[in-house]
Amino acid sequence: MKIHKISPILLIILLISSWSDVAAQRRTPENLPKYDLAPYHFGFILGLNQMHFTVKNVKDFERQDSVYAVLAEPEMGFHIGIVSNLRLGDYWDLRFIPSLAFGERSMVFTRAIKDTVFFDTRKKVESTYLDFPFYLKYKSKRLHNARAYVISGFKYSVDLASQAKKKEQDEEIRIKLKKNDVAFEFGVGFDFYTTYFKFGTEIKMSYGLRDILKHEANVFTSNIQKLNSKIFQFTLTFE
């Protein structure tokens, strides 16, 4: 009896088809089938963030005031918030998620003494943001107990840790940030419908639109033309 060889790709397709048939027969019931028909719902978020800066140097930046380079380094933080969701249609939602974000960033200034001895000066900048974002959320068609989505919008932020109006109490020079900022945000995520609530995972980027640096006549800020906030967020949602 002659045995014909089966293509590996064909074998994989057959296995996947067989598994799909079995999974369809054993599929669990759809959780919260009427959840998305509610005109509004609420929840909360927990997440991690990585705060960063986008640095734009002055045009004639060239070893001014013994500073050879300016580098921003991100640091990790966390955020919490409350979700308010308004249903606009089968695939659209309007979301307002006031939140509190804690974090810090570092500015590293490479300096030199008489152009021979180089050293780095690190300045840490702490921020505690009270955020007021509005988002439009576009959802894909629900696939059993899961749904993908994209989200974008704008947020207004108040930095509760801003030292822009504080005067120096000692000889240390601090990098001061302005208290208010406006940012554009864009992200993607997945919603999972459980027995009792909807659980989601989301990745989002935030790009500040304002120069948040308080420009002062010192060795560190004189070389910076513009400083914008840039924040990466990973969020868990419970709704």
pLDDT digits (tens, 9 = 90+) for 36-67: 999 999 999 999 999 999 998 877 655 555 77
- Cα–Cα distance for residue pair 126/235, rounded to 1 Å: 21
DSSP H/E element including 23: helix 8-25
Question: What's the pTM?
Answer: 0.81
Domains assigned to the chain: 40-238 (2.40.160.20)
Handedness of CA 165, 169, 171, 172 (dihedral sign): negative
**What tokens appear for 168 in the block?**
């120096």
Give the model confidence (pLDDT) of 112-163 as tens digits.
766 666 667 888 999 999 999 999 999 999 998 999 999 999 999 999 998 8
